[in-house]
Structures are given as structure tokens and as C-alpha cells.
A and B are shown apart, each in its own frame.
Chain A
Amino acid sequence: MKKAVQLCAPLAALILLAGIVPALAAEEIRIYTYMLPIQEDLTKFLTDNTGVQVKTLGLSGGELWARVQAEKPNIGADVLFGFAPGPAILGKREGLWVPYPDAPAWKDIHPRYKDKDGAYVDLGTSCFVLVGNKDLLAKKSLKMPESWSDLLDPKWKGEIVMPSPVTSGTAFMINATFLQLLGWEKGWEFLERLDKNVAQYTRSGNAPLEHVGRGEYILGLTSDEKVPQRLQQGFPILWAAPKEGLGYEGNIVAIVKGTRQLEAAKKIVNFAGTDKFQRWLAQFGYLTARDAPNPMYPSKPKLVDYSYEWAADNHERVIDAWKTKFLRK
């Protein structure tokens, strides 16, 4: 028994210490982000370029905001890097952010990407698009729909997958887009008819892309964030921007009130506005604040008229209504 303890103890101590030591070292920043597809790359890119040790936790839209609400006023992150505009507005109203209006790198960026009081900044927009599985479409001799209303056709029954707004910010964006496009009543009508063709509501905004890419379903409404990557990797997918237009949302960055790493946080926010970062971000398909070569959208796609304020004000109402209508048995 003694021997066992003697042998075990140093081993255990080693493993335990291995975690603590680096933690005590560099400057550390905790980040919540909903940019899940690029989370690991983002962490590395930020760390390498700012010298700050960045630790991120990826949460999808709904989860992120829920966590902030549950944790306030002692939020477990220093910076929220990549989250939805609706919550950003709500958060500003609650006084959760530390304004940083004179970040040098953001000075020459168009005002619509910045909050007028400097409470937060917008990295760029991501849209949601329609994706389809090339092989399955070919097998069934079908073509990609050209309009959103084509999706209501019964031939797609059980073959559409889209995210759930309860957890996914993208999904919220999707629903809010249709509601703003068609108005509250007609918007829900559309969504209810669409629901008949939907096979599954996924947790995150990119999961439909995976499902469609694997051929589990033919069509998906998904965030565009991972599409270029997957195309490059050889996923058999096609994507389209139906003629009514795409909905979009900004990816907001804000410094959390109560952070003890204010200097480091500011560094991060500032870096986010630099040309270097924006170019890096654009390669994933984001329509960045600074113009940058974008592999997915050679030119700006048609966007739907979308109001962040409306989204913020109606967030809870939309989700409640959605749950009542669509959360199945």
C-alpha cells in the first residue's frame, strides 16, 4: 500500500502541476465565442498575433447569451468575441460592456460596424445560405431551389434540415429574417409550412452543413461560415442564395464589464480591426468590415432588410412562439 502511494503520488502530482504552471505564466484572456467553425484557428491566430494567451469556450448563440445571463455580474469571460447583435444591444442596455470607442484600428472603419458609443464593434457579417447535396440531387434529378418559397414544395418533405433558434443564433437569424421579410403573421405561416418538410432541428447553426455534406439530408439552411472550408475539403455540396435575399447577422466583439484584464482585452479588440485580421477572417467567407478578398462571395450578395434592433426587442417573443409551435413531442 505504501509503495503504491509512493509511486502514484509523484505521477499524479506531475500531471496536476502540468496544468497549473502554464496557467500561472502568461497574460491570459478568457473568451466566449460563437464562431464555432473557426474556434480553434481563431484561438491560435489571436494568441500568435497579440501575445496574449487566449482561452476560448465555444457556445452556440442561445447558449452564449444564456450563460452570460446566468453568470452576471460575474461573467466568466473577459471578452465576447463573435456573438449576435441582438444580445449585444440587450447587453449594452444592461450595462454589461466596457466601451472602447477609440480603438485605433477601428477608426477608419465604416460606422455601421461600430456602436455609436463604442460599446461594441462588428467584425463583419455572416449570412445563412441554402446548401444542397450534389449527389443526392443528381440521384433524384432535382435542382437547387431558386426561391425560398420553393422549399415549401412537398417533394422536399423530410429532406430539409435547419438549426433550432432555441440554441442557435443562426437559426434565430433565419427565423427573424423570414419574419421581417414577410411580416409577423405571414412569416409564421411560412415557417409552419416549412416545418412540414423539416426532418430535424439541429443544435448549432453549422450542423445542417455537416448533415447535408454527409448525405443524410438533401437540403439545409445553414450558416455560411464553414461552407468555403468544406467545399475545399471536397464535400459534395452546392450552395445558393435564393432570389429573395439572404439574411445576415453581425459578429460582435465586446469587452465584458468586470474584466481584470482590461489592457489585454483592449489589445484583442484592437487587433480585430486590423487589416491583417480582417483579411484572415474574410477567407472563411465572412463579409468583413474591411473589404477583403472573399472566396465565397466575390461580390456582395443580395441581403434582406434586417434590423438588429427589431431582433433585440423581439428575441424572447420569437423564441417563445417558435417553441410553442415547433418543439415536437
Chain B
Amino acid sequence: MATTLGIERPAARPQATGQAVARLLPAALALLLVAWLALFIAYPALAVLVRSVSTRAGGFTLAHYYAFFAKAYFLRSLLNTLILGGTVTGLCLALGFALAYLVSRGPRVLRLPLRVLTLAPLIAPPYLFGLALIILAGRRGVLAQLLDVQIPLYGWLGVILSQVLSLLPVAFLMIENVLASLDPAMEDSACDLGADEAALLKTIILPLASPGLLKAGLLTFGLSIADFGNPALLGGGLSFLAPDAYLMVTGEWNMEMASVLSVVLLVPTLGIFLAQHYWLKGKTYTTVGGHATATELRGIGGGLLTVCLAPSLAFGVLVLASYGVIALGAVTKLVGIDNTPTLLHLASTAGLAAIQTSLQVSLAAGLVAAIAGTGLAYLCVRTETRWSGLLELTTLIGFALPGTVMGIGYILAFNRPPLFLTGTLAILILNMIARFLAVGLEASVGKLYQIDVSIEEASADLGAGLLTTFRRITLPLMSSAFAAGFLFTFMQSMISLSAAIFLVAPGNLLASVYIFNRARDGDMGIACATSCFLILSLATCLGALALLARRTGNRIFAAHA
């Protein structure tokens, strides 16, 4: 509409209905969103909690918890899980830092390849590396045959390695972000005062990056202990909480113990997650005062370069080898044993059907999560609802809860009328939305804080109502956050396993579950082939989205500004 001041003003709205709607709308939306969150996040979580303290008859009891803590077996499982988390976190932080340091300050020629290699695991199901490692280093793996050496893969080595491979990208991204936000003048200053590279790292870079590193570490720890696929595939005789909870459900129909295990898993995960979100919020050592001037990057000295480069290259090689081996496995009869090429695996239709289902679920979940996240963020930031804190917290809980817990919770919550959803596609979609909504929400919230409220006020001043302002001004400005929410939910839905494995039904098999089952049954060829299709379809979708973004001038993939 023409906005030349004073010349054209839109006709005055009919006062009553327009204003009433405008006033009620935020409240109605808020109510809707609250109801949704309560139903699909809080209710299943509570169902798990309640079940863990119920007897079969329906009474209250702590007997199950006694049983948990009394049995050496369960305590051992808990201990293993925590040890795993700690070890993997330590390794991811160290390696992630080395990689981030290299990428941000190392030789230019290495930057792109290292980034690609480090982020490559993101488009694969997290247990893909478990699969690849089995083929590579299993008892009759490629390495065993080539070098005639037996690698004790099943057990600690396999689980730790596969987790490091799949969780590193997350740690890397966070650490890279932290390093990039350090004021370069600080390093120049330290240098000016005589610090050499090692001293610089020790006294300036590491201390300043430490809150960011802590955050990355906590997140990695949370992801590690909630991981289902890798420990299940490579655990060997070791027990871990997430696979154990799964076994409780699927092997013994013992929902009570499964719930107890879920609660035990939930407490540290939730605690850690909330700690790193609320406590570390804003506790970063970024620029203190003034603006940074353009600097020349200094480069890394020889000794430090080698220290960073060696493990980074090893990691890169492993990633490449893993993908390579998966590709090989898809086209050979029995990779490693009978290497005759075959197209049989690739022709399997069940896998393709599973991928189609995954695409449907992921697209739907992604769209809804992005829209809901944006709307929710707007509610929390712009309108003065008292519910904002609670809304945000609930959404975060959905994200922080281990997939296993959400899966079990959904079975418990939605297996009887009035909300009888088990077995449907809907429950899968809803589960994915509930689990990944938080990312879109946080991205949108962050973006909204950057959009000065006066922009929207100006729009209102020129005659636009609430919805129009949202549609024409706020939403376009928030498009990158919207895209981030969509992309994250889409990608995670495609590859996530730990909740989906409980919720699949005849005809509604998700690719991640299909691949996992095939792998566990030893059908490596089909597992690899379907994995290849999964990765390909994921990469294609992402590529299409990127292309679309560039065409419409949308900087969807711009770093979170």
C-alpha cells in the first residue's frame, strides 16, 4: 500500500470486530500452543514418570526404583553410560577444538576440505558409523582381512569411536562459533605483549573460549548418553541405558522398568541441558567494549599445526573410509567376503518405501515445526504473556529428553482413546515435531531479539494490523530462522532412530528403523544400500533447498547472524 505520508491511508477498520480479533488472537494462539505443548510433550513425559512409580494394579510404589538401584546389572549400565558420555565428550572437545582452530587459522587450502569432512557426518544417521565400523573393523572386516589383525570392535572401542564420529560435527560447530566470536584484537594485544603461539592458546584463547567449550561439552554429553543406535550395534556385551530401556520394552514388555530407566536417563540429560541453556546464557567472553577492526589472520606455527593436523586428518580419513565402505557395501554381495558387484541390494523395494515414508514424515514435521517455532517465538518475545517462560521451557524439555523416553512416553500416552494414535503416521510426525521444535524456536527467538521492535511499530503506525505486520514485516525478516527450524527438524526426522523405533507400524516403517533392523540382523548389503539412498535423498533435498534459497535471494544458510 502506498505509504507516502499523509497521502493514502487505508480505510479505517470497522472498530469492533477487527479490534476484538486482534486482541483475542494472541491469547487464542497462546492457548493453542500451550495446549499442544502440554499434550505432546508434557503429557508423554509425565506418563513415563507416572508409570515408573506405578504397580501393575495402578497403585503408587517405589519398588521399581529399589529394583533398579539394587541390581548390580542396572547400576553397571548407568555407570557405563556415564563413562561413555565423559569419554566421548572429552574426545569430541579436544578433536573439535583442534579442527576448529585449524579451520579458522590454518592454511587456507585446508579449510574447505576439513569443513566438509567434519560436517559430513551430519547427513547420515548417527549409527551409520557403527555400521561402517563393523564392516571396516569387524571380525571379518576389511582391515582384519587386509592386515590380518583382530580389532576388538564390539565393546568400548566401537561404541566410543562410532559416537565420536557422529557427534563431532555438533561439537565442532559450536566451538567454531565460539572461536569466531573472539575479539581478534585480544589476540593481537597478547601477541604485542610478547606471547608466542603456545602462550596465546594457554592464557588467552582457551580461557576465553571456555564457556563456549563448556556449553559444547554439555551438549555432547547429553547427546552421547541418550544415543541408542551406536551402543545397540556395537555394545557387544556391555550394557547402556538407552538400549537397555529399549530391551525392557521390546524384549520383556516391562513398561515399569523401562520407565524407570527412562527417568534415570532423563535426569542427567535434562539437568545438563537446562544448565547449559539457562546458566551459561550470555556468559560468554566476547568483545568487551568497542568494535573490532579488520585483522590479518596470523596463521599457525609448525608445531601446533602438526598437533592439530594429525588427529584431524585421521578423523577425516575415518569419515571418508566409512562413507566409502557403505557405498561399497551397497554394491557388493557381501562386502569384505564376497566382493562380486551386484545390484540386488539397490533394487530392494522395501528400503525405498521406507525412505518415502521418512520423506513424508520429515517434510510434514519440518514445515509444522518451523511454523510453530516461529509463531511460538513471536508469542514469547513480542506479546506480554506470562506463559513465555513456561512455553520455552516445555519446548526445550521436548528437545532435551532422550529419544527413547519420548518414544516410550508416546506409546504410553497415545495407545488408547480418546487420542489413539499408535500405528499411524501422525504419531511419528507429532513425535518429531515435539522433539525438534526447540531449535526453530530458539533460532526465531534469537532473530526476533535482533529485529528492533520499532520496525514493527512503524508498520503498525502506517496502518497494518497485527497479522499483516507479522506476515509482511516480521516473517520475511525472520526467514533465516524459519529456514533453520525447518532444516534442522527435517534432517533430524530423516535420520533419527531412538524414538522412531518404538513408534513404527506395519506400512509405516521409517528408513532409519529399517536400516537399523537390517544391520542388526546382519543384512549389511541392504542396510548399506538403503543408507546410500537415505543420504542421497537427504543431500538432494538440502541441495534443492539451497538452490531455492539462492534463487529467491534468501540467505537461508547464512550463519545465525
Judge A-B direct contact (beta carbons within 8 Å): yes
- Cross-interface CB contact of B73 among A74, A209, A329, cutoff 8 Å: A329
* Interface residues in chain A, defined as those with a beta carbon under 8 Å from any beta carbon in chain B: 1, 3-4, 7-8, 12, 15-16, 18-19, 23, 28, 30-32, 36, 40, 55-59, 62-63, 65-67, 69-71, 74, 76-77, 166-167, 200, 202-204, 206-207, 209-211, 213-217, 233-234, 319, 323, 327-329
Are B140 and A215 neighbours in the complex by a CB distance under 8 Å? yes
- Binary interface encoding of chain B residues 232-270 relative to chain A, with 1 for a CB under 8 A from any of its CBs, else 0: 000011110000000101111101000000000000000
C-alpha spacing A328/B509, complex, angstroms: 31
Are B253 and A1 neighbours in the complex by a CB distance under 8 Å? no
A31-B506, A207-B522, A216-B139 as given contacts; A319 in contact with B252, CB under 8 Å: yes
14 of the cross-chain contacts (CB-CB < 8 Å) are: A3-B551, A4-B552, A15-B363, A31-B506, A57-B507, A62-B250, A66-B251, A70-B415, A71-B415, A71-B422, A74-B416, A167-B247, A211-B522, A329-B80
Which 10 A-B pairs have CB atoms at the shortest separation, nearest pair first?
A: A210-B522, A55-B507, A216-B139, A66-B253, A76-B423, A69-B253, A166-B251, A30-B506, A55-B506, A328-B237
* Interfacial chain B residues near A234, Cβ < 8 Å: 338
**B143 contacts the other chain (Cβ, under 8 Å)?**
no
In the complex, which of the residues A18, A62, A66, A69 has the most CB atoms of chain B within 10 Å of its own CB atom? Answer: A66
* Interfacial chain A residues near B61, Cβ < 8 Å: none
C-alpha spacing A28/B505, complex, angstroms: 13
Are A62 and B251 neighbours in the complex by a CB distance under 8 Å? yes
Are B251 and A58 neighbours in the complex by a CB distance under 8 Å? no
A19-B425, A74-B422, A204-B521 as given contacts; A214 in contact with B336, CB under 8 Å: yes
- Cross-interface CB contact of A327 among B239, B506, B523, cutoff 8 Å: B239
* Interfacial chain B residues near A327, Cβ < 8 Å: 73, 239
C-alpha spacing A317/B76, complex, angstroms: 23
C-alpha spacing A55/B520, complex, angstroms: 21
In the complex, which of the residues B350, B521, B548 has the most CB atoms of chain A within 10 Å of its own CB atom? Answer: B521
* Interfacial chain A residues near B360, Cβ < 8 Å: 15-16, 18-19
* Interfacial chain A residues near B549, Cβ < 8 Å: 4
Which chain B residues numbered 388 to 431 have a C-beta less than 8 Å away from chain A? 411, 415-416, 420, 422-423, 425
* Interfacial chain A residues near B476, Cβ < 8 Å: 1
**B356 contacts the other chain (Cβ, under 8 Å)?**
yes
Are B253 and A328 neighbours in the complex by a CB distance under 8 Å? no
**B450 contacts the other chain (Cβ, under 8 Å)?**
no
C-alpha spacing A167/B249, complex, angstroms: 10
* Interfacial chain A residues near B238, Cβ < 8 Å: 328-329
**B140, closest chain A residue (CB):** A215
**B222 contacts the other chain (Cβ, under 8 Å)?**
no
C-alpha spacing A176/B502, complex, angstroms: 28
C-alpha spacing A18/B416, complex, angstroms: 28
Give A185 Cβ to nearest chain B Cβ, in Å. 23
Are B554 and A1 neighbours in the complex by a CB distance under 8 Å? yes
- Cross-interface CB contact of B520 among A59, A203, A213, A323, cutoff 8 Å: A203
C-alpha spacing A217/B154, complex, angstroms: 13
* Interfacial chain B residues near A55, Cβ < 8 Å: 506-507
**B334 contacts the other chain (Cβ, under 8 Å)?**
yes
